[in-house]
Amino acid sequence: MTPPDTLIRRQAFVGGLWCDALDGRRLAITDPADGSEICEVAHLSREDAKRAIGCAAEALPAWRARPAAERAAFLRRWADLVLESIEPLAKLLTREQGKPLAEARAEIAQAAAFLGWFAEEARRVYGDLIPAPRADRRTLVLKQPVGVVAAITPWNFPAAMVARKVAPALAAGCTLVLKPAPQTPLSALALAVLAEAAGLPPGVLNIIPGEAEPIGNALIDSHAVRKLTFTGSTAVGRQLLARSAATLKRVSLELGGNAPFIVFADADLDAAVEGAIESKFRNSGQTCVCANRLLVEDSIYDAFSARLAARAKALVVAPGLAPGSQQGPLIDQSAVDKVEALIADAVDKGARVLTGGGRHVLGGTFFQPTVLTEATADMQLCQAEIFGPVAPLYRFHTENEAVALADATPFGLASYVYSSDLGRALRVGEALQCGMVGINVGAMSTETAPFGGVKDSGFGREGSMYGIDEYLDLKYLSLDLSAR
Ligand code: NAP
């Protein structure tokens, strides 16, 4: 196992070297559990980003030319090293992001699973031989790496979001420049330490913490960068997409969500409550697939809300590294202010607080797990991504009404349906406008399935047998057999 301290890096990783910003700037990384400084990390600028793009472009020809089996072997070694270091990586992740250690361990395991999965997929990038229109012709289709990839990741999953992009890109034969979120660069840099130990060639993966807009603009404006993969908010995703038009980049966007969690009267109520707890309160409610609106059939509304409130109230709120912690702090003070304002607006418009409703006695950015009843469509939290531990319950009477309510949002990422009538669950699952549906399941992210959304939640898929296609271009070769 790698000792914890050797996994902490305070410098960026460019061209296989650990380096500072050209202008020497640094950014303090803080622990959201107590506001203390963990360390300072190099904070790169536009010029640094250009240098990193140059390194990725230089490394591309040799990396793409490697046999797939070699790229696969590297990814497999990297996955194994990540698993061997799961404990120090998880502790580092909890320190910079705040989530409970058990969740951090699960995230590191998931990051390793993406590396391992795409190690296998690297060897399955098949082409096609298509029957040609003439006897003397052959039609060949190749899949080739798109080239240099720019990746921008958010703070809520500082390791898994990195692995979910880097693994398929490297498997396909691309090289990358990755900008992690400014709150949580340490996990990305620690993964790079292990990539280096696994034999990563210089320049193939470059990690550049730094100023969002200048770096983002340098990556997007560069003709050398042929693909942008972004996970973050819809507002920023839209800006990046517009700017990518000038260089006609390929783009994948994993954006925000507003997940409906539909509970029909025929559902197993205990299972539905557990699913809601898992979906809503994981990562303190700061996930893009969190249940954002719980739609509950009228006849079980009171029973469901009482059980959910009792379970939410029992959640152990504590610093992520404290034994038994089930809910850590929110990422920063502005997240607390936002959640508080959404609750105030809802209560003002008639919502009832069944449990929680405010800041936690632990202070800082800790917030009480909250359940609100009598939520209605005119409340701000119905349209906004709450991104906090607040479960608002809405009422419905019929299946059609449930689907209409569920789809009454510009987002379309995840949805959840709880019912013991499989016919109904499938019918509703097929009807919902979204990219993923959990049927009697509260957490569904896995490396084996395609993750992604529709509408304002973006486009492109990560993970699964489809994920590598985001990093491959099709090339058609037409061959004349009679030519000499
Ligand atoms: P965000 O504000 O959009 O930021 C995401 C990343 O983009 C950060 O690294 C950010 O850096 C960077 N960024 C912001 N403006 C930029 C610009 N003009 N050019 C280049 N980069 C820029 O989102 P967030 O608050 O970190 O993350 C939460 C959001 O991510 C939520 O909406 C959540 O639903 C979404 N999310 C989606 C998925 C999914 O798979 N669909 C998964 C996880 C999270 P700075 O912080 O320095 O601005």
**Ligand 1 and 216: CB distance under 6 A:** yes
**Which protein residue's CA is at the shortest distance from atom 28 of ligand 1?**
232
Return the pLDDT at 227: 98
**Ligand 1 and 425: CB distance under 6 A:** no
Q: Is 288 a catalytic residue?
A: yes
Ligand 1: residue of 231, 249, 287 to mutate (most ligand atoms within 8 A of CB) is 231
Atom of ligand 1 nearest to the CA of 234: 32
Atom of ligand 1 nearest to the CA of 289: 34
Summarize the chain as % helix, strand, coil (round to 5).
Answer: 40, 25, 35
Return the pLDDT at 4: 59
**Ligand 1 and 145: CB distance under 6 A:** no
Q: 3-state class of 183 per DSSP?
A: coil
CA of 157 to the centre of ligand 1 (A): 11
Q: Is 19 a catalytic residue?
A: no
Give 270: exposed, middle or buried? Use CB within 10 Å, 0-12, 13-18, 19+: exposed
First to last CA, the chain: 59
What are the φ and ψ backbone dihedral angles of 348, each rounded to 5 degrees? -60, -30
DSSP per-residue string spanning 300-354: GHHHHHHHHHHHHHTS-B--TTSTT-SB---SSHHHHHHHHHHHHHHHHTT-EEE
**Ligand 1 and 239: CB distance under 6 A:** yes
**Ligand 1 and 155: CB distance under 6 A:** yes
Return the pLDDT at 23: 97
Query: Does residue 213 contact residue 179 with C-beta atoms inside 8 Å?
Result: no
**Which protein residue's CA is at the shortest distance from atom 30 of ligand 1?**
232
Q: How far is CA 248 from the centre of its chain?
A: 24
What are the φ and ψ backbone dihedral angles of 116, each rounded to 5 degrees? -65, -40
Query: Does residue 263 contact residue 297 with C-beta atoms inside 8 Å?
Result: yes
The CA distance from 171 to 447, in Å, is 14
Mean pLDDT in runs of 10 for the chain (484 residues)?
76 98 98 98 98 98 98 98 98 98 98 98 98 97 98 98 98 98 98 98 98 97 98 98 98 98 98 98 98 98 98 98 98 98 98 98 98 98 98 98 98 98 98 98 97 98 98 98 89
Q: Centre a 10 Å sphere on the Cβ of residue 20 and count the other Cβ atoms it contains.
A: 16
**Dihedral angle over CA of 67, 71, 73, 76, nearest 10:** -160
**Ligand 1 and 288: CB distance under 6 A:** yes
Residue of 57, 128, 43, 41 whose CA lies nearest to 92? 41
CA of 298 to the centre of ligand 1 (A): 37
**Ligand 1 and 181: CB distance under 6 A:** yes
Pairing of strands 175-179, 205-207: parallel
Q: 3-state class of 395 per DSSP?
A: strand
Return the pLDDT at 363: 98
Ligand 1: residue of 107, 152, 339 to mutate (most ligand atoms within 8 A of CB) is 152
Residue 10: DSSP 8-state: -
| Identified catalytic residue from 55, 174, 288, 434 | 288
